[in-house]
Structure 1
Amino acid sequence: MHQARLVGAEDFAGTCPVPFELVARLSRAEPDTLAALLDGIPEAIRANLAVWLYGRSHTHALGVWIAATCRPERLNEAAGDLVGTMLHDLSRRTYAAPDHGTRPVTGRRISLGGSGLQASAL
C-alpha cells in the first residue's frame, strides 16, 4: 500500500537553486510583489529556478512566470536548447493552466467495467 508523504524543506536540499524559504515566499507572493522578490536574484539562478519550478505540477505556473524574466540564452544554459526554448516561448504567451485531464469527455466513453459480459457467461 502506498502512502502519500508531505513535502518538507529537506526535499529541496541539493536540487533547488534557492533556499526553501524563498520558494515558499515566492509561491505565496502576489504578482506585484513577486517582481520585487526576484530583483536581487541573478538571472542565471532565476533561470535555474524557473526550470526547477516548471518541472513540478504545483509550481508550474510560477516557473513560467519566472522564465519570463530571463533571456532565452539563460534558459537554454539552465535546461538545454530544446526545453529552454520551449520554456522561453511558453513564458511569452498568455498563460493557460494545464487541465490535467479535466476536459469534458466527448465522443466514445470508456468503461473500466469491461464488455458487460457476466463472469458466469465466460
Structure 2
Amino acid sequence: MTQSHPTSGAEPDPACPVSLDLLGAVYRAEPEDLPEILAEIPPTTRAKLAVYLYGKSHMHQLGLSVARACERDDLVRVAGEIGSVVHGQAQMKSARPAAPNPAAPPPPRLILRGGGSAPKKISLGGSSAKSRSFD
C-alpha cells in the first residue's frame, strides 16, 4: 500500500521582510549576482532582510553578505545595537584559509632518526606481567 502525503508550498515566515520568491532568489543567487538582486530591494527592507538572515543559523553568512550591501545607519535603524554588530561583522574580512602560494618554498621536513639501531620493543603486559604482584 502506498501512502501519499499532500505537498504544499513552503509557508512564508511572518518575520521575513520579503516575499518567499525574493527570499528564494537571494538564497540561490551566485555571489557575483547577489549585488544586482539586492540593489532592487529598498534600503530599509534590505537591512531588515540582512538582520533576519543573520539570525537564522543556516543563513548567517548570507545575512552578512546582504549586510555588506547595507548602510550602517539603516541596519541600526531597523535592529538597534544588533544592527551595528551585524554591520561590523559584515565589514570584517572573511576567515578563509589562505590559498597556498606556489612560489613559496615548501615547509622543512622534520625527520627523527634513532642511533641507527632497530626500534626498541615495548612490552604491553604479556606473560611476564601476569606473574607480577601489585599488592
TM-score > 0.5, shorter chain as reference: yes
Task: Report which of the two has the higher share of helix.
Answer: 1
Q: Which amino acid in 1 is paired with 2:20?
A: F
In structure 1, runs of 5+ residues without a counterpart are 1-7, 98-122
| Alignment of structure 1 residues 27-106 onto 2, 5 Å | 27-80=27-80, 82-96=81-95
Alpha-carbon distance, 1:23 to partner: 1.1
Alignment partner, residue 125 of structure 2? none
What TM-score does the superposition give when structure 1 sets the normalisation length?
0.67
Runs of 4+ aligned structure 1 residues displaced above 4 Å come to none
In structure 2, runs of 5+ residues without a counterpart are 1-8, 97-135
Aligned mates of 1:9, 1:63 — CA distance in 2: 20
Aligned mates of 1:96, 1:9 — CA distance in 2: 33
CA contact (8 A) 2:12 2:20 kept: no
Aligned residues with identical type, % of pairs = 41
Alignment partner, residue 109 of structure 1? none
Alignment partner, residue 115 of structure 1? none
Alpha-carbon distance, 1:44 to partner: 0.4
The total of aligned residue pairs comes to 88
What TM-score does the superposition give when structure 2 sets the normalisation length?
0.61
Question: What is the RMSD computed on CA atoms of the aligned residues?
Answer: 1.5
TM-superposition CA deviations, 1:62-116 (whole Å, max 9, x none): 1001111111111011111x2111111101011248xxxxxxxxxxxxxxxxxxx
